[in-house]
Structure 1
Amino acid sequence: MRYFITLLFFFTLHLSCAQTGTQTIETMQYDGETRSYIVYVPQSYTGQSKVPLVLNLHGYGSSMSHQISYGEFRDIADTANFIMVVPNGLLDVNNLRTWNYFQQNGPDDIGFLSVLIDELSAQYEINENRVYATGMSNGGFMSVFLGCNLSNKVTAIASVTGTMLNIHVNTCLPNKPTPAMFIHGTEDTLVPYSGNATFASVNYVVGHWVSQVGAYTSPQIFYMPNIVLSDSSTVERHLYSGGSNGATIEHFKIVKGGHSWPGASTDIDKTNYDIDASKEIWRFFSQYDRQTLLKISDNNQNHEVNIVPNPNSGNFTIHTSHNIDEVEIYSIEGKKIKSSSNYAVNNHEINVESGTYFVKMLINNKWKHSKIVVQ
């Protein structure tokens, strides 16, 4: 049985002169494990008004102590007045810290991070409409997984060098439009930009999140100034706008960049220094609050889609007032089983076998999602 203790120990770490806030290490018991995390509270925090919360997740084999300086947000928190938490993943069989976004029988990191948000919200004045998750590599994968499975608490996500498992992409259906940012190098050899048998390609993952928020499928592309020639890389910013309730998707394509955090103080693998990933992530996060993203906009109403009956016995009809340009159907495992285009308005029947399916529909250059059960 899970049990929870709010605080086991608490002490202040020495801070460099660059940061003015308070940094503490805390622990909790969750699912029989002692979970540790660093909390950074800016000096501007008074407890009189609610502030945002940023979860910052380390990569595989790294730790909270490394990530808090490698994926540096403390100076930004000082000026923007948000609280940051940097938790530790558990040790795996190789004695390396990791986040579990793929093992069904492994540690329940979704549950732990959910409870962690609750605990910090009880301990501090947290604006629960402004909770964000970011991370590096394995932590980036986990932040995306939170966007899929904890969107009732996480407002927006940003992943640096992390994508999604192929088996997760088409079964990821957040319960609200969830803005997402992906920062990835084209010469990343650990999580290849073009994907592999395990990891989905960056373009495919970005496309999924574009469809998830209903943004336009063609991005605006901005070529960032190449201010540091010595890093041998350049940056393209791809902005997908027009999503539900103002949600956008952003992708920073680091051309010739490696498996690294742009702007980091340590160059571990072809690090780009034309942008500061932490500053770009906060700029992105700061646009969004969950309450606004949950509103039903006129745009959503104009593109309303209903699938009936649901559940059904093998046939279903798609009702919409607009032309459906394309329909894709995926199994619960994420395998595409049907893809068709040029549907007529309103009624169209598709025969499938019994099971749970995910339906994606392209309507007026925007993707819409739905889940059906065939009995």
Structure 2
Amino acid sequence: MFSFKTKKNNLIQKKTTNFLFIFGFFIGGIAQQTINSTLEHDGITREYILYVPASYSNGSSAPLVFNFHGYTSNANDQMFYGDFRPIADTEGFLIVHPMGTVDNSGNTHFNVGWGTSTIDDVGFTEALIDEISSNYTIDASRIYSTGMSNGGFMSYKLACELSERIAAIASVTGTMNKNQPNTCNPSHQIPVMEIHGTSDTTVPYEGANWIESTPDVMSFWANFNNCETSAEITNLPDSAPNDGSTVEYQVFKNGDNGARVEHYKINNGGHKWPGSNFNSSGTNYDIDASALIWDFFSKYDINGQITTLSIDEVNGDNRTLRIHPNPVGSIITVDFKVQEPLDYSIFTIEGKLTSKGTISITNNTIDVSHLVSSTIYFLNIGDTSIKIQKK
């Protein structure tokens, strides 16, 4: 598995107590924070690195992305190798980089069912969600998991075993263990992305006696999500002809609640993170894995596809707002970046007003508990109307 060493590893390897290591890149008076910390779980001191972008504000909830490292690697290496930080700076999500424990072979790992490991990394992940949520305003409906190799396997394990907390996953060079799909039954649809090279000799694309093949894993998730049975296939432009690989994009559409299964097949690609700043043989540069993964995640919350509509009418700008979930439960959350408050109203399909009010960046939820189940309504925000359905 890919691993590169830096002096910053000492921040992880030598740390024995919780501490903050904060890089003060100040933007508008708010500092970006890279926080090295620990968490006690199952009697073990577990380590992690949390990245908090300068755009984060306690006044509004933020998504959380788990970024798991590969076998033999570590949290610090993954933070740089599969780097989401520049994206988080503009999109406002937090990134947690968990640190694996050492297995009987002396290698760092996440327990995904290999060997004799007894570490509860699913429980550790859930404890991390709770810990971070107690210190930051996290949108519990928008928690995602991605990772490299062993970290990709871990993301699939979370989709199967912690689906009540995970909205979507993306794996880079990972897959599922042999026969794991037989016992995988998430509580809701799981949008899935896999990025995998056909020349990967570490986690073979066509599978092995210990792992499922990438095509079979894609078919499993497409079937679980009730997507169309055949994928749409597009050959992407070979924008980096010197990298020795090309990309085929496959997408299974129209799953439950808008869930998709997307696959970037890197023809002649190796066991690498496409688009990484650390160039090595077998790395594809036609795509940027980190950018594609966040774009994929940003479309979903735990209830499915997030409804996005344009509100050009506000200050003449092409701003966007996100309404989720839909179908709705008791509360609708409206995410938007316009500073001014917006008036809203909810009408029945017959045109009867049921409620109205005002939302703002700091007060962006609407109580819809009074709406009738299994009924269609129209939510008007400014001059824009969107159809919603009460669960």
> Is TM more than 0.5 here?
yes
Letter in 2 for 1:276: D
% identical equivalent positions: 45
Q: Which position in structure 2 is the counterpart of 1:31?
A: 42
Q: Hey, what's the Cα distance between the residues in 1 that align with 2:265 and 2:304?
A: 28
The SS at the match of 2:200 is: coil
The SS at the match of 1:245 is: helix
Q: Which position in structure 1 is the counterpart of 2:203?
A: 191
The SS at the match of 1:55 is: strand
The SS at the match of 2:128 is: helix
The SS at the match of 1:11 is: coil
User: Are 1:250 and 2:262 an aligned pair?
Assistant: yes
Deviation at 1:169, TM superposition (A): 1.8
User: Are 1:71 and 2:82 an aligned pair?
Assistant: yes
Would you say the 8 A contact 1:170–1:208 is kept in 2?
Answer: no
Q: Hey, what's the Cα distance between the residues in 1 that align with 2:77 and 2:56?
A: 24
The SS at the match of 1:199 is: coil
Q: Hey, what's the Cα distance between the residues in 2 that align with 1:291 and 1:235?
A: 30
User: Are 1:263 and 2:275 an aligned pair?
Assistant: yes
User: Are 1:10 and 2:10 an aligned pair?
Assistant: no
Would you say the 8 A contact 1:259–1:269 is kept in 2?
Answer: no
Q: Hey, what's the Cα distance between the residues in 2 that align with 1:77 and 1:295?
A: 25
Q: Hey, what's the Cα distance between the residues in 2 that align with 1:65 and 1:154?
A: 23
Q: Hey, what's the Cα distance between the residues in 2 that align with 1:9 and 1:46?
A: 23
Would you say the 8 A contact 2:111–2:117 is kept in 1?
Answer: no
Q: Which position in structure 2 is the counterpart of 1:274?
A: 286
The SS at the match of 1:170 is: helix
The 5-angstrom pairing of residues 119-158 of structure 1 reads: 119-158=131-170
Q: Which position in structure 1 is the counterpart of 2:219?
A: 207
Q: Hey, what's the Cα distance between the residues in 1 that align with 2:38 and 2:169?
A: 24
User: Are 1:217 and 2:229 an aligned pair?
Assistant: yes
* Distance verdict in 2 for CA 1:50–1:201, change over 3 Å: same
Would you say the 8 A contact 2:153–2:176 is kept in 1?
Answer: yes
Q: What are the superposed Cα offsets for residues 231-262 of structure 1, whole Å, 9 maximum, x if unpaired?
A: 01000110110100100000000000000000
Would you say the 8 A contact 1:56–1:133 is kept in 2?
Answer: yes
* Distance verdict in 2 for CA 1:13–1:134, change over 3 Å: same
Q: Hey, what's the Cα distance between the residues in 2 that align with 1:295 and 1:43?
A: 30
Q: Which position in structure 1 is the counterpart of 2:321?
A: none
The SS at the match of 2:66 is: strand
Letter in 1 for 2:67: N
Letter in 1 for 2:217: V
* Distance verdict in 2 for CA 1:88–1:269, change over 3 Å: farther
Residue 124 of structure 2 is aligned with which of 112, 115, 124? 112
**Structure 2: runs of 5+ lacking an equivalent:** 1-15, 306-324, 329-391
Letter in 2 for 1:107: I
Deviation at 1:15, TM superposition (A): 7.5
Would you say the 8 A contact 2:231–2:253 is kept in 1?
Answer: yes
Would you say the 8 A contact 2:68–2:78 is kept in 1?
Answer: yes
Q: Which position in structure 1 is the counterpart of 2:99?
A: 88
Q: Hey, what's the Cα distance between the residues in 2 that align with 1:151 and 1:115?
A: 14
User: Are 1:55 and 2:93 an aligned pair?
Assistant: no
Q: What are the superposed Cα offsets for residues 125-148 of structure 1, whole Å, 9 maximum, x if unpaired?
A: 000000000000001000111011
RMSD, aligned CA: 2.2
Would you say the 8 A contact 2:103–2:117 is kept in 1?
Answer: no
Would you say the 8 A contact 2:25–2:32 is kept in 1?
Answer: no
The SS at the match of 2:156 is: helix
Q: Which position in structure 1 is the counterpart of 2:108?
A: 97
The SS at the match of 1:282 is: helix
The SS at the match of 1:131 is: strand
Would you say the 8 A contact 2:66–2:96 is kept in 1?
Answer: yes
Deviation at 1:16, TM superposition (A): 8.4
Letter in 2 for 1:53: L
The SS at the match of 2:204 is: coil
User: Are 1:287 and 2:311 an aligned pair?
Assistant: no
Q: Hey, what's the Cα distance between the residues in 2 that align with 1:24 and 1:287?
A: 27
* Distance verdict in 2 for CA 1:138–1:109, change over 3 Å: same
Q: Which position in structure 2 is the counterpart of 1:171?
A: 183
The SS at the match of 2:144 is: strand
User: Are 1:237 and 2:249 an aligned pair?
Assistant: yes
Q: Hey, what's the Cα distance between the residues in 2 that align with 1:36 and 1:107?
A: 14
- Choose 167-176 or 74-83, whichever is displaced more: 167-176
Letter in 1 for 2:168: A
The 5-angstrom pairing of residues 303-322 of structure 1 reads: none
Deviation at 1:80, TM superposition (A): 0.5
Count, aligned residues? 291
**Structure 1: runs of 5+ lacking an equivalent:** 1-6, 298-375
